[in-house]
Amino acid sequence: MFEIWRINVSSGELKREPLPDKYRYLGGRGITSSLVADEVPPTCDPLGPLNKLVLAPGLLGGTTAPSSGRLSAGAKSPLTGGIKEANGGGTAGHKLARLGIRALVFEGGFPDSGLYVIKITRDGVEFLPAGDLAGQTNYAVANTLRTIHGNHVAVVSVGPAGERGYANSTIAITNMEGAPSRHMARGGLGAVLASKGVKSIVIDDSGTKPIAVANPEEFHETVVEWTRKLVAAKRVLTELGTANLVLPMNSLGCLPTHNFRYGSFTNAEKVSGQELSRLIKQRGGKQGHACQPGCPIRCSNVYVDEQGEYITSGLEYETIGLLGPNCGLSSLDDIARLDRFCDEYGIDTMELGDTLAVCMEAGLLEFGDCEGVWKLVDEIKRNTVLGRTLGQGTAITGRVLGVRRVPVVKGQGISAYDPRALKGTGVTYATSPMGADHTAGNVLPGRGGFRPETRAGADPHKAQGQVEVSKDIQIMTAVCDITGQCFFVGANEEMVEYVARLLRALYGRALGKDDVLQLGRDVVRMEVSFNRSAGLSPAHDRLPEFFHSEPLPPYGLIFDVATEELHRFWEAM
Amino acid sequence: MFEIWRINVSSGELKREPLPDKYRYLGGRGITSSLVADEVPPTCDPLGPLNKLVLAPGLLGGTTAPSSGRLSAGAKSPLTGGIKEANGGGTAGHKLARLGIRALVFEGGFPDSGLYVIKITRDGVEFLPAGDLAGQTNYAVANTLRTIHGNHVAVVSVGPAGERGYANSTIAITNMEGAPSRHMARGGLGAVLASKGVKSIVIDDSGTKPIAVANPEEFHETVVEWTRKLVAAKRVLTELGTANLVLPMNSLGCLPTHNFRYGSFTNAEKVSGQELSRLIKQRGGKQGHACQPGCPIRCSNVYVDEQGEYITSGLEYETIGLLGPNCGLSSLDDIARLDRFCDEYGIDTMELGDTLAVCMEAGLLEFGDCEGVWKLVDEIKRNTVLGRTLGQGTAITGRVLGVRRVPVVKGQGISAYDPRALKGTGVTYATSPMGADHTAGNVLPGRGGFRPETRAGADPHKAQGQVEVSKDIQIMTAVCDITGQCFFVGANEEMVEYVARLLRALYGRALGKDDVLQLGRDVVRMEVSFNRSAGLSPAHDRLPEFFHSEPLPPYGLIFDVATEELHRFWEAM
């Protein structure tokens, strides 16, 4: 039923293969990572002809399972040099699944004929020259393509950042209103897609049928039960968005401020979820906005200016934390406009936030200097040498500018949680095959693992127990990434139970909680193994020196999980 | 007798320790690498307080052994992220040895009091504020310090590049005329020394006695015999300098041209050793110039302009190859002036040559555009963002400019031998713990190893046998680096025999050829082990992709030594 579609970008050929048995229970990150691990030489140039870019909906993609429409992108990353998966919401995931495509693989070197747009329908693939779309920003690309191909299509695209090979570049996906505001953001995958000559992918699932389910009744009942629970449990996300975390993280002392110099921000109230929600309501934007069809959580929002004009959608906690406090900026309007710039150019807001703060640390501009930030943005727009340096991300920018406090792991900027005050997430940054990416396993306070010894979680300020809790949460997060579900459904045991029930009903096979966990475990293990062959050894499983030596105000914490324990992290799992 | 002097740069303290027994037969690279491996955390920030910078004369330093006055510098490298040793000629090595200093260790973080000059005499160490010398170029620094402290001192210094943390920065050593023209060039060690607050080291060996030798007669006889042989065997080096290699390498098709796009250069004659020698004679410069006391080879030169004014000293093959043909430049005057700029600023000429050619590949300027090169030099002088990017070396420049053909291994620019046409040196680039550094084991045509199966060497254009030959030559080169001898005495079996005889006479202990080889082997093994812990795994033992896929004119060669064999290189030795 399901197929793998392989597009050789040099020859313009499509090969449709039935899904091999070994990939049967692998969707999303499960199949992107498997294909990369099986087919990409680990030491290859990430932007060369030997790398592959894989897009994949999750195992539950195309179904009515809650929040299951995320699309995964996978490749060897030009940012980390290791395997990378990034996923995003929007409408493309469900559509690819309904077309029966489990994985869409782009292979080969940049075509002689230049950039193109690929249109995917149930009949196959069309190659259309990108023409004027080359160099255009994501909103313009999405508007043009939706005008040509109809508002019912999903558009996946890279912005100028991807075309230029920036290691901070994203792949954008249109949301339900057609805005390219959902991004597979981390690890520079936009540059990989562009290195295959792909500017955009138009996905039209017209004429497709619903996904076949072995036991529809059982499936439906489970969906209804889980959805009802999520609506009740996730109210704070619906009401305040992910920005609800600003104040609790500030209290915990882990809100990155001034390039991770402080763990709390004087103006935290001004960039809080409460303030965001108030502004949105007052101006007539939208809170409780769903980024994908079938999401009961609806944590996204539509942010508008004082005149009610659209600025951006999905202003998220991590964007706020890293472009806001970490750069000393305290105006949500400023942050929203930077977010829009990032969405237009196809740039990871987190990576850019870290990068800009490193420029501030280097003395290029002051913390809080929003005008200076726009000057740097202009360097990026004009693709100057400074702009290109910033485009290569935080680690390279730190190298060029001679900064010693550079918050990166495996070349990737750390997300908006200071690892000294949220130590479990610090363990994830250090050890995840994905680099300093909280989406690989965010150990927020109160979260625990699936084993008796990890179930209670760990005190975020203490080293004890973090290694084991992070390991469990990384595995459970991988499960969400395999199903195509947003991890806001919960990287927890309840989620694993529901996933097992849904997969049983979908496939009509006996699958238990342990089987599901094993799927997650196997994928992470495969990714670690790829990284080892790519040259990311256990020595790379660590945090930068200053997190170990520089106490973080206000609690005076250092990151004190033993580095030796981190180096040994993947020996047993 | 010999001591280790440890200078804590934060506290300004000197600790003098008797040489521990385990370091008895380790000099030069042997002791720099041992101290780094034993005392520096492999994953530390190379420019942070946990790194150490070690200076060390060789085991034969201070004696009359031929060409034995080289000084080694060792540290974790900011360029490669691995252990690095670089050595240079000049007068400092012999003087440190006569002072009884086997190793001079700089420890701790950049001092609050800023940059200083360290004066070393037999009485100890003086800390002098660098004052106006901060930011000055090497020739100015050497002149000033020799005026103050006398012309008999040796001056070791870092230029502006080191002070700015450039990863292409060198440590300069004054030659016999007091010019800071000998450089411990590779791996950015200048930045490490500057990160310890050291602008310069003045070494005054007044009042010291000759090195004690157990059997002076045997020592003297061996020195005389070996010296006589070297004078006869190395005539081409005396007459044409290392530039004698330009024409043979051009014929072999391994002279890097236009960013390693071609293996021969139309204007090779114009930058040949013959032309260099002719110009020098015509203008009244000097050929057959010794860079250090007691060198019978005298491969250095003094290059002057048409008016007979000094430009630079020691214009070498690698400088010519990489700043010349590789950038499309064909005027020795231009290359000599670039060499002088590098010596003034303390920049590795090889790294810069690779970097500039990558800028040409990126389209910043044309190949052969000398005016454009001087504009880039001006960016470096002014420390602009572009200048700083270039200062971080070839790999970073390639990343920022989005170039795919970047000739680096472990982040270091490849030396002036294209690995596709000199495959043994290609193996050394790929596998040496030192990065793409020919001085770790240059497998020139006709060179063989010390084992029956490697003695005959290997055809430079063929893959067969290169791995084993490179391994032997890397080990024998390490022997030279341990003794403090220039490897132009020959990384061969004869050298090993002579070294064994000299060490026997020096120490009065029975040391055979195998013992000497074991010293070399142990040091390389230790370096590889450090690198593994630092995160440079076997996957890093490889050449960039394009050397494997892009045939090199004129012979259409690719680098076809199996990558798997390279990854396994250090499993057995």
Residues of A with CB under 8 A from a CB of B: 42-45, 47-48, 50, 164-165, 167, 385-386, 388-389, 392, 396, 399-402, 404, 532-537, 539-540, 542, 544-545, 563
**Torsion angle in degrees (nearest 10) through CA of B213, B177, B146, B13:** -40
Q: Which residue carries 């309501």 as its tokens? A: A281
Verify that A427 and A406 share a domain, yes or no. Answer: no
d(CA B177, CA A161): 53
Verify that B463 and B540 share a domain, yes or no. Answer: yes
Residue A296: C-alpha distances to residues A220, A226, A292, B37 (Å): 15, 10, 10, 56
Verify that A351 and A245 share a domain, yes or no. Answer: yes
Q: What is the CATH number of the domain that holds B172?
A: 3.60.9.10
- A interface test, pick of B50, B51, B77, B385 with most A CB neighbours within 10 Å: B385
**A45 contacts B545? CB cut-off 8 A:** yes
Verify that B265 and B405 share a domain, yes or no. Answer: yes
- Residue A48 is nearest to which of B165, B404, B537, comparing CB atoms? B404
> Does residue A1 have a pLDDT over 90?
no
A128, A196, A127: which is closest to A163 by C-alpha? A196
Verify that B253 and B133 share a domain, yes or no. Answer: no
- Residue B48 is nearest to which of A45, A404, A532, comparing CB atoms? A404
Alpha helices per DSSP H over A118-169: 138-149, 160-163
Alpha helices per DSSP H over B392-535: 394-401, 423-431, 466-483, 493-507, 513-534
CB B486 within 8 A of CB B70: yes
Q: Which of B203, B221, B255 is the last residue of a domain?
A: B203
Containing domain of residue B37, as a range?
Answer: 3-203
Distance to chain A for B391, nearest Cα, Å: 8
A213 part of a folded domain: no
Report how far Cα B392 is from the mean position of its chain's Cα atoms: 18
Verify that A244 and A193 share a domain, yes or no. Answer: no
Question: If DSSP codes are grouped into helix, strand and coil, which group holds residue B196?
Answer: coil
B-chain CB neighbours of A534 within 8 Å are 539
B-chain CB neighbours of A50 within 8 Å are 545
The pLDDT value given to residue B572: 80
Confidence band, pLDDT 50/70/90 cuts, at residue A551: very high
How many helices (H) and strands (E) in chain B? 21, 17
Q: Which of A378, A413, A448 is the last residue of a domain?
A: A413
Q: What percent of chain B has pLDDT over 90?
A: 99
Taking 70 as the pLDDT cut, the residues of chain B under it are none
Q: Which class for B461: exposed (0-12), middle (13-18), buried (19 or more C-beta within 10 A)?
A: middle
A113, B416, B419, A62: which is closest to B429 by C-alpha? B419
- Residue A389 is nearest to which of B47, B389, B539, comparing CB atoms? B389
Distance to chain A for B69, nearest Cα, Å: 34
d(CA A499, CA B235): 78
> Does residue A322 have a pLDDT over 80?
yes
- Residue of chain B whose alpha carbon sits nearest to that of A400: B389
Q: Is B458 left (phi over 0), alpha (psi -120 to 50) or beta?
A: beta
d(CA A116, CA A107): 14
Residues of B with CB under 8 A from a CB of A: 42-45, 47-48, 50, 164-165, 167, 385-386, 388-389, 392, 396, 399-402, 404, 532-537, 539-540, 542, 544-545, 563
Verify that B246 and B391 share a domain, yes or no. Answer: yes
Q: Which residue carries 């960016």 as its tokens? A: B379
B230 part of a folded domain: no
Question: If DSSP codes are grouped into helix, strand and coil, which group holds residue A98?
Answer: helix
pLDDT digits (tens, 9 = 90+) for A419-476: 999 999 999 999 999 999 999 999 999 999 999 999 999 999 999 999 999 999 999 9
d(CA A414, CA A541): 13
**B542 contacts A43? CB cut-off 8 A:** yes
B-chain CB neighbours of A542 within 8 Å are 43
A214 part of a folded domain: no
Number of independent structural domains in chain B: 3
B-chain CB neighbours of A563 within 8 Å are 43
- Residue of chain B whose alpha carbon sits nearest to that of A43: B539
Q: What is the 3-state secondary structure (H, E, C) of B121-140?
A: ECCEEEEEECHHHCCCCHHH
CB A281 within 8 A of CB A307: no
The pLDDT value given to residue A310: 98
Interval A117-136 mean pLDDT: 97
A-chain CB neighbours of B404 within 8 Å are 45, 47-48
- Residue A404 is nearest to which of B45, B532, B539, comparing CB atoms? B45
- Residue of chain B whose alpha carbon sits nearest to that of A78: B399
Interval A490-497 mean pLDDT: 97
Distance to chain B for A64, nearest Cα, Å: 43
- B interface test, pick of A385, A389, A394, A567 with most B CB neighbours within 10 Å: A385
Q: What is the CATH number of the domain that holds A330?
A: 1.10.569.10
Residue A560: C-alpha distances to residues A270, A550, B333, B363, B392 (Å): 32, 11, 56, 47, 31
Confidence band, pLDDT 50/70/90 cuts, at residue A572: confident
B134 part of a folded domain: yes
CB A12 within 8 A of CB A111: yes
A-chain CB neighbours of B563 within 8 Å are 43
Alpha helices per DSSP H over B362-458: 370-381, 385-391, 394-401, 423-431
- Residue A540 is nearest to which of B401, B535, B563, comparing CB atoms? B535
Distance to chain B for A403, nearest Cα, Å: 9
**B539 contacts A535? CB cut-off 8 A:** yes
Q: Which class for B518: exposed (0-12), middle (13-18), buried (19 or more C-beta within 10 A)?
A: middle
pLDDT digits (tens, 9 = 90+) for A226-248: 999 999 999 999 999 999 999 99
Q: Which of A413, A442, A475 is the last residue of a domain?
A: A413
Q: What is the CATH number of the domain that holds B434?
A: 1.10.599.10
B331, B335, B336, B358: which is closest to B258 by C-alpha? B358
- Residue of chain A whose alpha carbon sits nearest to that of B51: A545
- Residue A539 is nearest to which of B165, B167, B533, comparing CB atoms? B533
- A interface test, pick of B386, B399, B406 with most A CB neighbours within 10 Å: B399
A255 part of a folded domain: yes
Q: What is the 3-state secondary structure (H, E, C) of A293-344?
A: CCCCCCCEEEEECCCCCEEEECCCHHHHHHHCHHHCCCCHHHHHHHHHHHHH
B217 part of a folded domain: no
- Residue A396 is nearest to which of B50, B400, B542, comparing CB atoms? B400
ipTM score for this prediction: 0.96
**B385 contacts A545? CB cut-off 8 A:** no
The pLDDT value given to residue B573: 73
The pLDDT value given to residue A17: 98
Verify that A361 and A400 share a domain, yes or no. Answer: yes
Distance to chain B for A385, nearest Cα, Å: 6
**A396 contacts B396? CB cut-off 8 A:** yes
d(CA A437, CA B546): 31
**A537 contacts B535? CB cut-off 8 A:** yes
Distance to chain B for A298, nearest Cα, Å: 39
Verify that B107 and B46 share a domain, yes or no. Answer: yes
Distance to chain A for B214, nearest Cα, Å: 45
**B401 contacts A396? CB cut-off 8 A:** no
Verify that B331 and B476 share a domain, yes or no. Answer: no
A287 part of a folded domain: yes
Verify that B373 and B473 share a domain, yes or no. Answer: no
Distance to chain A for B520, nearest Cα, Å: 26
Q: Peptide bond preceding A554: is omega within 30 degrees of 0, i.e. cis?
A: yes
Q: What is the 3-state secondary structure (H, E, C) of B518-569?
A: HHHHHHHHHHHHHHHHHCCCHHHCCCCHHHHHCCECCCCECCCCCHHHHHCH
Verify that B541 and B464 share a domain, yes or no. Answer: yes
**B533 contacts A535? CB cut-off 8 A:** no
Distance to chain B for A485, nearest Cα, Å: 34
Taking residue B508's Cβ as centre, other Cβ atoms within 10 Å add up to 12
A267 part of a folded domain: yes
- Residue of chain B whose alpha carbon sits nearest to that of A364: B385
Q: Which class for B452: exposed (0-12), middle (13-18), buried (19 or more C-beta within 10 A)?
A: exposed
